[in-house]
Structure 1
């Protein structure tokens, strides 16, 4: 059983590493990232071997193939992970960037500059690529990271962290650490390490995120739950709408930016739904529809209240007919998770109104929800997709892993009354 002292020990070491890492120049951090990428490639076989054990145990436990896909690593995937690390190295370093600055009337020079957050804890499920993505982004932004992946990926994460730490020579190895233990206690102790850990970022399903938000004494950035919607407007190009819907649902169903609900304007339902349902059937999608949608097929499952708020992460899709754009927005506001919503329309006024009314981290106009992604946005690998409104919202890249401090320079200035 993991003890509190074991977790606090890695947190203390991370805090010391963060202090040493924060002032390092970009060149040193970039060199460390390239060394990590080289080590991942050189030791790819042992990483894949460790992962194979995790995958075998997941299959024995009856884990769905969608979740196994998230868990699995191959030589090709390790190559892509290493390439993502190199891409992070190529990005501008946010540390030291001036957010704003000016000279006050009294002659004092004031600058607000970006600084690292400090120690970042990541609690995540089943995706060992997150282990490397998180380490690369935190190191580049001058932060130390404490990684607590799921027990299902434990051997993979142990191997990945050991490879990354072995590559760190000019930066403190304790800037990248795995939180010890597979049990729930290790997560609990991490969530209570206020004063040693500056922020926690949970990545996973709703139960994980809610648990961290409700139980943690460390500040939390909420990420990830994706009940994403595609709204097909009355003025949609129907061929485009079918293509976008199929891509948003089926391109990779097990991720948070996959579409989980389609809303169809009633004026085009009779033309759109037969085409869309046929295309979805060909991809093996099970549609959970309201009464209007069920009129278009005996194989459509009756949607329940739970379906409208469900993040399926599978080849399931909720579907409803709505009477207006405003009704679609009301549905999204009631059931959505504020992640990503898409409108398909040829009407610019409709697009503008949808964008103005929808309160989500990302809104797509005539594009798949699958584009809400740090790499697709040009940020490099992301630390997560924030669905809250404080500090960071949407895909979190390097700038979102910094805070700021004010630097005030004077010439013997003294404050009077």
Structure 2
């Protein structure tokens, strides 16, 4: 039985308990960690109604508190969303051990857990379950710090997981909710025992968490992805790419919100393309060139194309902006300045343009002629195994840069070197 003592009242002691639990969890065999995950998935399947009822309470309270509509949408835990999270836990139990894979250097390097982690998030209660499963798989303890809008759901999820942990003789601190009333800043300045924080939510929320933290941060990013359409590509294919990028639900992680088109497209059906976007319910904005080009066609457009200035901000809404450039280098420079830096795309039939974009675009993930739809469950790793993703991180954001891009199991581990003589 794990001998971690009861959680003390002070926050430093609370984080220490999580740290101590992580040290114990690191010694738990891989097969047992898989058994824990399998049991968690089974218990959630049996007790899903309890979680959904808690979520109903949160939704009712949030509407009374005038919580923003976008958070209400993220907060809503439908049976399908909960099942997707349960499926992630099931898949985690089937994946190879992240602590024994991915190290090709034989010179004494070992992959090890990070230790105590914190997941700080707005709404999205199901992500607390996914984050807990990923941390257990990688041998880390986890502190959940959700918003007040989802307190009942988060507590129900944590209680179910802790009941399973008890059955395997693991301490509550292996997965715990931050003490009531504790501030995010106070939690994320516990660098003595806390190893990593992952903030998830609106860009303004993530940026605020990053500024307050003194521990390493792996900030998640969503929205404000760019796509460049080369004159050698196809507007029809570009339409499908934009549509696909916006199909992840409920969080628009890789949604293409800004499109850069080569000037050639002005005389090759761009107005008709904009009309197709509007028919999909998207409000279209543009640079001065786009606005001037669309003005004579106002009788055909569903709505006027407005001028855009917020190229560096995510909309997280049914809005898309279009900009015209004369050359690829101009598009890359604009993307590097204004994109969120986690998922940008190029559509081109030119191998030279593909290489130039891949080499010069400063994004953690580059998509070349392929949909950049985000899937929390289903993408494949280098060995062909399904991956479970918590989110996407950026090359540009402050904090830990060891694992830019997909926040997967390997992003929750580190390496140490053992040298013998």
Using the size of structure 2 for normalisation, the TM-score is: 0.88
For 1:151 and 1:335, the matched residues in 2 are separated by: 32
Check 1:120–1:129 CA distance in 2 against 1; reply closer, same or farther (3 A cut).
same
Question: How far did residue 10 of structure 1 move?
Answer: 2.8
State the 1:250 CA deviation.
5.6
Query: Within 5 Å, which residues of 2 pair with 1:356-371?
Result: 356-371=359-374
Alignment equivalent of 1:74, drawn from 63, 78, 100: 78
**In structure 1, how many angstroms separate the alpha carbons of the residues matched to 2:15 and 2:320?**
42
Residues 383, 28 of structure 1: CA spacing in aligned structure 2 closer, same or farther, 3 A cutoff? same
Aligned to 2:54: 50
Aligned residue pair count: 397
What is the CA deviation profile of residues 105-131 of structure 1, one whole-angstrom value per residue up to 9, with x for unaligned ones?
xxxxx4100011000111111111110
Per-residue CA deviations over 1:322-364 (Å, capped at 9, x if unaligned) read: 1111111111011112111111122222222211111101111
1:383 to 390, 397, 410: 390
Residues 271 and 59 (structure 1), Cα distance of their counterparts in 2 relative to 1, 3 Å cut:
farther
Distance in 1 between residues matched to 2:269 and 2:361, nearest whole Å: 23
> Of residues 281, 289, 294 in structure 2, which corresponds to 1:284?
281
Contact 2:375–2:389 (CA<8 Å) still a contact in 1? no
Pairing 1:95-114 to 2, within 5 Å after superposition: 95-97=99-101, 99-102=103-106, 110-114=107-111
1:394 is aligned to 405
Query: Matched residue of 1:261: which SS?
Result: strand
Identify the match of residue 205 of structure 1 among 199, 202, 207. 202
- Alignment match of 2:139 (pick from 134, 137, 142): 142
CA RMSD of aligned residues (A): 2.2
Please list, as runs of the form range in 1=range in 2, the aligned pairs for 1:253-402 lying within 5 A after superposition.
254-294=251-291, 295-296=293-294, 298=298, 299-305=303-309, 307-371=310-374, 375-378=378-381, 380-388=387-395, 390-402=401-413
Q: Deviations over 1:378-417 (max 9, x none)?
A: 553323322137211101211111111112234xxxxxxx
Q: Contact 1:254–1:314 (CA<8 Å) still a contact in 2?
A: no
List alignment gaps of at least 5 residues for structure 1. 103-109, 411-417
Separation in structure 1 between the aligned mates of residue 325 and residue 50 of structure 2, nearest angstrom: 52
Q: Structure 2: how far apart are the matches of 1:14 and 1:75? A: 31
2:92 is aligned with 1:92: no
Q: What SS does the aligned partner of 1:180 have?
A: coil
Unaligned stretches of 5+ in structure 2? 1-7
Partner of 1:18: 22
Q: 2:156 aligns with which of 154, 159, 167?
A: 159
CA distance in structure 1 between the aligned counterparts of 2:243 and 2:100, rounded to whole angstroms: 43
CA distance 1:348–1:96, shift in 2 (3 Å): closer
| Pair 1:30-2:34 in alignment | yes
Partners of 2:208 and 2:190 lie apart in 1 by 16
Greater CA drift, 49-58 or 330-339 = 49-58
The alpha carbon displacement at 1:189 in A equals 1.6
How far apart are the structure 2 equivalents of 1:138 and 1:217?
21
CA distance in 2, matches of 1:133, 1:50: 18
C-alpha displacement of 1:8 = 2.8
Provide the secondary structure at the position in 2 that maps to 1:84. Answer: helix
Range that drifts further, 211-220 or 120-129? 211-220
Cα deviation digits, residues 126-163 of structure 1 (max 9, x gap): 11111011100011000000011121111110111111
Name the stretch that deviates more: 361-370 or 4-13.
4-13
Mapped to 1, the partners of 2:87 and 2:250 lie a distance apart of: 24
Deviating beyond 6 angstroms after TM superposition, the runs of 4 or more aligned structure 1 residues are none
Counterparts of 2:86 and 2:122, CA distance in 1: 20
Give the TM-score normalised by the residue count of structure 1: 0.89
